[in-house]
A and B are shown apart, each in its own frame.
Chain A
Amino acid sequence: MIAEAGLAALWLAAALALLQFGLSLAGNRLGELRAMVVPAAVLQGVLTLFAFAMLIWLFWRTDTSVVLVAANSHSDKPLIYRLSGAWGNHEGSMLLWVTVLAAAGALLALVERRLSQDSLRATLGAQALLALGFFGFLLIASNPFERLDPASLQGQGLNPLLQDPGLAFHPPTLYLGYVGLSVAFSLAVGALITREVGPALARAMRPWVLGAWVLLTVGIVAGSYWAYYELGWGGWWFWDPVENASLMPWLAATALLHSINVLAARGSLRAWTVMLAVVAFSMSMIGTFLVRSGILTSVHSFAVDPTRGSFILGLLVFYTGGALLLFALRIGSVREGARFDLVSREGALVVNNLLLTVILGTVFVGTLYPVAVEALVGEKISIGPPYFNAVTGPIVLLLAALLFIGPLLRWRRDSRPNLRRIAVPALVTLVALAATFAAPMGILPRLGLAFAAGLAAASLLPLAGRKLTRTPLTIWGMVVSHLGIAVAMAGAASDSAFTRETLAAARPGETLSVGPWRVRFNGVDPVDGPNWTAIEGHLTATRGGTTLRLDPQSRYFAAPPTETNEAAIVTRLDGQLYTVLGHQEGDRWQLRLWWKPFVTFIWLGGALIALGGLMALLGRVRRERRRVVGLEEQPA
């Protein structure tokens, strides 16, 4: 009954989406009936949430009379992985996608007060049309509630690599981000339909884009850390197609976030902002398409299903094509924004947007080029880190350089004397550059470290001369996010410049050294886990007066048969010691040891970037609230 209730709720929600879309099209003839758009959106959100709750319930009980549960879960699994199994597969993740889409539509219908009634209705109509496509996809091509007859006894299990707390919450975080961008898309489409592209649109869009951007950032950072500790390769970014699939919407959202500020504050960049909103959500859909279609085989090859790819591709072409067509038809009639000089905050944000667009373009080409070549010529090629590093590296440095200047400029126009404040970060960069000559390293890490130091100084400058306690949260958000970029850059540069590696086959009792550490290999023991067995190595690491124990494992899972490496990692203030147990060679065991100074700064920086976004979001919401109760006349 649970499964049937979930399925019925989905059908009802789909019907409501159809009604909502129809009402939004109907125009004035229907009069009062058009007010039904809002309750339809809310009810649709509630029904999909109910359906998703039913799926979770099925997984919680391991109801193996449902195909999806039988194929993706196992009664022996720990509770958290039984629950995360609900979205750790194709059907479940698509249901999650629709749920977030519909819930976001409901929330928008409930809270949005800045837009005109016409614009809001058009926006909700667009959101309903988006939801309809995905409801159709679920109900026709991937019903998550399909029954299995006869029921399976235990279920098949979940890929052991997915049995990790990081992976249980990584996909939903990204999805929430992807779908948050759907609201920006619908708002853009709604504004185009009613020709109301202006500051009100930007203010309505901003919290959604900020929220989506924060979640995308968290998802990407978490995914990067997962790859770092789970794969045992010691790397943190592989330019894997699936990583790129989440990076591309992030880049578009980052550009959008900055252009929205120009639109909200100054009324400029109207067409560009609308275009970016369309592009950002299209990138989310491309990301979903790449991951779900199996068109790109990758680290994430467990998510492969070619037949379903075409459905998502169809939706992608329909929505993006439709939005672009509308854009082409309407943009000529959108009112011109306010003028500004090139040397101004607006000018800097335009350059920021151009650089982000160039990075997005090159990542897009690099990710999809192999697909295009295979489709057109039939030849399989692969594009890897050498391409991505070469084309994105220099632009990232340019972006960092822009961050020295941009936040210090004033809106509309700025004169040269104000540019003198750049002297501070420039000086810091030069001093840092001089300091790095004490250590031997490559040119990119050297520049990275120096820029990171200068950027840290530059990002703090907007606080100079302000009363810290009275500085708005939105300014703090910008400062913290930009500082996070500096911290992450420093971590990445330090990792590539100073990492020390020791690889050896050791007998029990032998001592190896890596960086400042002496590591004694004490031997191995067999260990049993809930659904795996393992060989566990015992290491004692010493440095100065500190002694640490590390127990890296080599794990064997029976169902499905898989081996995984559980690296043992300890974190110190100045870096991480990362150890991997390899194979047995006679009476010796292979050991791989890394000392990675300040590698944690990479994710710490990522966390700061997300925190800054969150602070800006809170600042906006608070200001909005004050405006509503009349404490503030006009948002700045």
Chain B
Amino acid sequence: MSPSRKHQRLVLVLLGVAALIGAALLAMWGLADRAAYFRTPQDVAAGRAERGVPLRLGGMVREGSIRKLPDGVTVTFELTDGPASVPVRFRGIVPDLFKENSGAVAEGQLGRDGTFVADNILAKHDERYMPPQMGNQASELKTRETVK
């Protein structure tokens, strides 16, 4: 095996390692920047949710907070996780299982006025989707209520 052949294999190995390191760096940059995708109303209250970037906000739909606007396709409601709640505005067709005192996740952005503008709503027990966080949260809230 001539030295130049060894050299070529070395270059290939280094390239492979570089690709893996590149992937890891890219992934870490992405995670640091965008992994804070799921937020709770308490995060919002504590100022831990960025404005103007895509987020998911999860919680329970606060009793008596659902209002339908005259255009027939916009609803406003509040998502709560107990101590904190966030007003949400959604233009669209809400899932069939979207109702008061039930879990929901809003996908959208937090506006300047503190209202979360959703472009998608995922309801708990919706056959189509049930975000991993919801199961946990719902049971936590229930425990909290029983403790009270």
Which residues of chain B (83-128) have a CB below 8 Å from chain A?
91-94, 96, 120, 127-128
Chain B positions within 8 Å of A350 at CB level: 12, 15
Residue of B nearest to A160 (CB): B127
The number of residues on chain A lying at the interface, defined by a beta carbon within 8 Å of a beta carbon of chain B, is 53
B19 in contact with A383 (CB, 8 Å)? no
Chain A positions within 8 Å of B19 at CB level: 354-355, 357-358, 361
Chain B positions within 8 Å of A387 at CB level: 30-31, 33-35, 37
Q: Does A590 contact B (CB under 8 A)?
A: yes
| Stretch in A280-288, A401-409, A443-451, A578-586 touching the partner | A578-586
User: Contacts A380-B136, A383-B37; is A585 near B128 (CB within 8 Å)?
Assistant: no
Q: Tell me the minimal C-beta distance from B97 to chain A in angstroms.
A: 8
Bound Cα distance from A269 to B127, whole angstroms: 47
B73 in contact with A369 (CB, 8 Å)? no
Cβ-neighbour of B94 out of A358, A385, A583 (below 8 A): A583
Q: Does A509 contact B (CB under 8 A)?
A: no
A588 in contact with B27 (CB, 8 Å)? no
Q: Tell me the minimal C-beta distance from A516 to chain B in angstroms.
A: 22
Cβ-neighbour of B37 out of A298, A359, A382 (below 8 A): A382
User: Contacts A339-B4, A339-B5, A585-B72; is A370 near B132 (CB within 8 Å)?
Assistant: yes
B23 in contact with A361 (CB, 8 Å)? yes
A301 in contact with B54 (CB, 8 Å)? no
A296 in contact with B4 (CB, 8 Å)? no
Which residues of chain B (1-38) have a CB below 8 Å from chain A?
1, 4-6, 8-9, 12, 15-16, 18-20, 22-24, 26-27, 29-31, 33-38
Chain A positions within 8 Å of B35 at CB level: 369, 381, 383, 387
Chain A positions within 8 Å of B29 at CB level: 391
Chain B positions within 8 Å of A370 at CB level: 132
Which residues of chain A (202-243) have a CB below 8 Å from chain B?
231, 233
Which residues of chain A (353-376) have a CB below 8 Å from chain B?
354-355, 357-362, 365-366, 369-370
Q: Mark A487-517, 1 if CB is under 8 A from B, else 0.
A: 0000000000000000111000000000000
B93 in contact with A582 (CB, 8 Å)? yes
Q: Does B67 contact A (CB under 8 A)?
A: no
B73 in contact with A590 (CB, 8 Å)? yes
Residue of A nearest to B27 (CB): A365
Chain A positions within 8 Å of B9 at CB level: 336
Q: How large is the interface on B (under 10, 10 to 19, 20 to 34, 35 or more residues)?
A: 35 or more
Chain A positions within 8 Å of B145 at CB level: none
Which residues of chain B (32-59) have a CB below 8 Å from chain A?
33-38, 53-54, 56
Q: Does A635 contact B (CB under 8 A)?
A: no
Chain A positions within 8 Å of B131 at CB level: 297, 382
Chain B positions within 8 Å of A361 at CB level: 19-20, 23-24, 26-27
Bound Cα distance from A365 to B34, whole angstroms: 13
B15 in contact with A354 (CB, 8 Å)? yes
Chain A positions within 8 Å of B128 at CB level: 161, 231, 299
Contact residues of A: prevailing secondary structure: mixed
B72 in contact with A386 (CB, 8 Å)? no
B71 in contact with A504 (CB, 8 Å)? yes
Bound Cα distance from A385 to B19, whole angstroms: 23
Q: Tell me the minimal C-beta distance from B94 to chain A in angstroms.
A: 7
Residue of B nearest to A227 (CB): B128
Number of interchain pairs (Cβ within 8 Å): 134
Chain B positions within 8 Å of A296 at CB level: 132
Q: Tell me the minimal C-beta distance from A366 to chain B in angstroms.
A: 7
Which residues of chain B (128-148) have a CB below 8 Å from chain A?
128-133, 135-136
B93 in contact with A583 (CB, 8 Å)? yes
A384 in contact with B56 (CB, 8 Å)? yes
Q: Tell me the minimal C-beta distance from B128 to chain A in angstroms.
A: 6
User: Contacts A336-B5, A339-B4, A582-B93; is A384 near B54 (CB within 8 Å)?
Assistant: yes
Chain A positions within 8 Å of B53 at CB level: 386
Residue of B nearest to A563 (CB): B96
Q: Does A311 contact B (CB under 8 A)?
A: no
Q: Does A163 contact B (CB under 8 A)?
A: no
Bound Cα distance from A384 to B106, whole angstroms: 13
Cβ-neighbour of B129 out of A299, A355, A586 (below 8 A): A299
Chain B positions within 8 Å of A377 at CB level: none
Q: Tell me the minimal C-beta distance from A230 to chain B in angstroms.
A: 9
Q: Does A390 contact B (CB under 8 A)?
A: yes
Residue of B nearest to A340 (CB): B8
B94 in contact with A233 (CB, 8 Å)? no
A562 in contact with B26 (CB, 8 Å)? no
Q: Does A320 contact B (CB under 8 A)?
A: no
Residue of A nearest to B97 (CB): A563
A390 in contact with B93 (CB, 8 Å)? no
Which residues of chain A (116-148) have a CB below 8 Å from chain B?
none
Residue of A nearest to B133 (CB): A380
Residue of A nearest to B132 (CB): A297
Residue of B nearest to A380 (CB): B133
Residue of B nearest to A389 (CB): B34
B72 in contact with A505 (CB, 8 Å)? yes
Chain B positions within 8 Å of A588 at CB level: 72
Q: Tell me the minimal C-beta distance from A265 to chain B in angstroms.
A: 17
Residue of A nearest to B18 (CB): A354
Q: Tell me the minimal C-beta distance from B134 to chain A in angstroms.
A: 9
Q: Tell me the minimal C-beta distance from A297 to chain B in angstroms.
A: 4
Cβ-neighbour of B133 out of A301, A382, A395 (below 8 A): A382
Chain B positions within 8 Å of A272 at CB level: 12, 16
Chain B positions within 8 Å of A384 at CB level: 37, 54, 56
B135 in contact with A297 (CB, 8 Å)? yes
User: Contacts A159-B127, A386-B34, A590-B93; is A269 near B12 (CB within 8 Å)?
Assistant: yes
Q: Mark A158-169, 1 if CB is under 8 A from B, else 0.
A: 010100000000
User: Contacts A336-B1, A386-B53, A504-B72; is A358 near B93 (CB within 8 Å)?
Assistant: no
Bound Cα distance from A390 to B27, whole angstroms: 10
9 A-B pairs whose Cβ atoms sit less than 8 Å apart in the complex: A269-B12, A357-B19, A365-B24, A382-B131, A382-B132, A386-B37, A564-B127, A583-B93, A583-B96
Not counting A365-B31, A386-B37, a sample of 20 additional A-B residue pairs whose C-beta atoms are within 8 angstroms of each other reads A272-B12, A339-B5, A340-B8, A350-B12, A350-B15, A354-B15, A362-B27, A369-B35, A380-B136, A381-B35, A382-B37, A384-B56, A391-B27, A395-B26, A504-B72, A504-B73, A505-B71, A564-B127, A590-B93, A592-B93
- The 3 A-B residue pairs with the shortest CB-CB distance in the complex, in nearest-first order: A505-B72, A361-B23, A582-B93
